Amino acid sequence: MSLQSRNAIVTGSTSGIGLAIARALAREGANVTINGFGDAAAIEAERTKIEKDFGVKAAYSAADMSKAEEIRAMVADAEKAFGSVDVLVNNAGIQHVAPIEEFPIEKWNQIIAINLSAAFHAIAAAVPGMKARKWGRIISTASAHSKVASPFKSAYVSAKHGVAGLTKTAALELATFGITVNCISPGYVWTPLVEKQIPDTMAARNLTREQVINDVLLTAQPTKEFVTVDEVAALAVFLTTDAAAQITGANLSMDGGWTAA
């Protein structure tokens, strides 16, 4: 267990990729603060399951990643509760799809706030403690859309490109403090959200399940396979290890070849 006596925050970890990362960090011995929205009883069940499965402490922060003060308070609370924040995973994210001239202003602002500015606020709040202890791992879930664009996703693509830039800048500033800063850029990841889209798309376009998967969802993904949440989590865990000490400022693709094209 490589993360014993380390403490981690994973934003947006009540489902999907974030939950898998939180559980993978806990499996390595880290105490974790999970965060995100959802049914209170379900979140509490996930929190206690982490404690039971891995013998670590798990806390829950209801901080809204669109609110700077709440993000900074989340980091302060985790430091108070566990003594430090050693691993910060900026993962919360939302999407909205619309032509640029119709893109709702409030959706633009919300996506930039949650997908980009939240990482800035969390990093800013966590860095003083990491610097003082001369150790830290900052990982953000970016996206293939941090490297390439797709139409109708102006806010998402802008925010994710921003995350890649923030990652590089923070990596340079923190390079001599034992702190690495990286982002992971998945292609299409198999999550309940993706799975739920399949029946509707089959009906709407009169396609088979295979056609929806290969020709609609995975059209840009050369392997024609989804990334799994556990694969993303495994890379996040690797980035926290000593073996990854010289990986910093990197934007690591995990996209079945999407951005090679």
Q: Which is nearer to ligand NAD, 94 or 175 (CB)?
A: 94
Q: Which is nearer to ligand NAD, 8 or 92 (CB)?
A: 92
Query: Residue 21 in contact with residue 8, Cβ under 8 Å?
Result: no
**Nearest-approach distance from CB 176 to ligand NAD, in angstroms:** 29
3 state SS of 191: coil
**Nearest-approach distance from CB 94 to ligand NAD, in angstroms:** 5
One-letter amino acid identity for 121? H
Q: Which is nearer to ligand NAD, 92 or 127 (CB)?
A: 92
**Among 137, 122, 97, CA closest to 248:** 137
**Nearest-approach distance from CB 208 to ligand NAD, in angstroms:** 21
**Nearest-approach distance from CB 12 to ligand NAD, in angstroms:** 3
Q: Which tokens is 209 given?
A: 């399940």
Q: Which is nearer to ligand NAD, 169 or 228 (CB)?
A: 228
E strand residue ranges, 119-246: 136-141, 179-186, 189-190, 227-228
Neighbours of 135 (CB within 10 A): 17
Q: Name the site residues for ligand NAD (rule: CB under 6 A).
A: 12-18, 35-38, 64-66, 91-94, 114-115, 141, 143, 186, 188-189, 191, 193
Whether residue 60 lies in the annotated active site: no
Q: Which of 54, 60, 108, 156 is catalytic?
A: 156
Q: 243: Cβ–Cβ under 8 A, 6 or more apart, which residues?
A: none
Q: Give CA–CA dist 128/133, Å, rounded.
A: 9
**Nearest-approach distance from CB 242 to ligand NAD, in angstroms:** 26
Q: Which is nearer to ligand NAD, 56 or 122 (CB)?
A: 122
Burial 47-71 (b: 16+ CB within 10 A, else e): beebeeebebbbbbbebbbbbbebb
Catalytic residue ranges: 156
